[in-house]
Every structure is written in C-alpha cells, then in structure tokens.
Amino acid sequence: MPKRKRKPRNADASDVNGEDNVVLYETAPLQLRYYGDPVLRKRAKPVAKITDAELQLAEQMLMTLEATGNGIGLAATQVGVLKRLIIVNIGEVDDEVYEPLVLFNPEILSSEGEIVAEEGCLSIPDVTADVKRPEQIVVEGINVERQSIRIEADGLLARVLLHEIDHLNGVLFIDRISGLKRRLLSDELLRLQQAQRPS
C-alpha cells in the first residue's frame, strides 16, 4: 500500500478545492507564544511604515490563526513580534459574515457601556473566564491598503478588538477578572507557566 503523502498542517483550512496548489507564501504558521513567555507582557511598538515585511507578517498571522481551528483574533505579540498589528477573523455571527480584518496601529477612540462575556485566549489554553468590557467601541487603524479606517463595533467584534489591543499593551484577559476568580484559576495558570512550551 502506498504511503499517504503528508500535507502541511494548514492544508485542510486553506485548500478549498481539494488540490495541493493553494499556497500564498512559502511559509508555515508561526509559533504561538504561551502564558509565562515574557514577550506577552511587553508593550508593542507602533508600525512606522507598512512594508512588504509587515504585510507578509499579517498574512502569516492569518494563516497561524486559521491553523488553530478555533481562534478568532491574534496580536503580533502572540507570535513574538512586538509591532502594533492585530488580526481579527470572527467569521459568521448572527447570519452576518465578517471578512478577516487586519489593523496596524489600532487605537480606541471611544467606548460606551459595559458587558460581561466569557473569554479565552490562544496564549492561555483551556482557561476561560467572564470578562467585563465596554459594549460599544470606535477603533481607528490602518488596513492592508495603508488607508486609515474607523470601525464602529459592538458584540463579539468589539470584544475581540479590545482583547487584541490589550495584547499590544502587554495586558491579558486574566488581568481583567476579579481577584476571587483569578485565585481560583491560579493553580491552572501556574501549571501553564511551568509547562511553557518551547518557542
């Protein structure tokens, strides 16, 4: 029996036609950084100029997010790059399909209301908690066409944007939960920190 040819890890996600010719860049998904890695606590620097390198990084981050199978957002910090760049791909929510979003130098212009919802993070596997965040926000940033765009967001989109912008400031969602809940999670967090995967 012939051996089955091994496909790259991201093939199932990007290979819509069942063919092996869908390759955007000759790159693999990037290595995710996990809780306990000091890079997650650093503040990312603004992107002064969006060159091909930044665009390729964004493309690789989209690929990395897709490879996770369940991720909906990623900050450059989470792949060890301290540049102010986030990507969001929430897919379909309430019958509305959202295109993947790439934002350089995102800034929160305004926020309103408060809402609690459950959150998780690709960098903190298997940990979820209720997090209180603003309900509606206006965010400004630069897209892949190097144009300044303004996004009015609520619901899941607002939450993901806020979560990812937090990453650029070295802030994790567990920093925003109550002391009691955090104490309950402390064993789990310690375990993650000790088991920190090589990067």
Contacting positions for Zn ion (CB under 5 A): 121
145 is catalytic: no
d(CA 122, CA 32): 8
Residue nearest Zn ion, Cβ-based: 121
Q: Could you say which of 26, 96, 152, 164 is catalytic?
A: 164
At closest approach, how far in Å is the CB of 70 from Zn ion? 12
- Measured from the CB atom, the residue of 121 and 137 that comes closer to Zn ion is 121
Amino acid at position 55, single letter: L
- Separation of alpha carbons 29 and 88, rounded Å: 16
Phi and psi torsions of 151, nearest 5° = -120, 125
- 3-class SS of residue 38: helix
C-beta of 167: minimal distance to Zn ion in Å? 6
Question: Quick one: tokens of 167?
Answer: 């990453």
Q: How far is the CB of 88 from Zn ion (least distance, A)?
A: 11
Q: Please identify which residue in the block is written with the tokens 């992107």.
A: 47
Measured CA to CA, the distance from residue 196 to residue 192 in angstroms comes to 6
The residues assigned a catalytic role are: 164
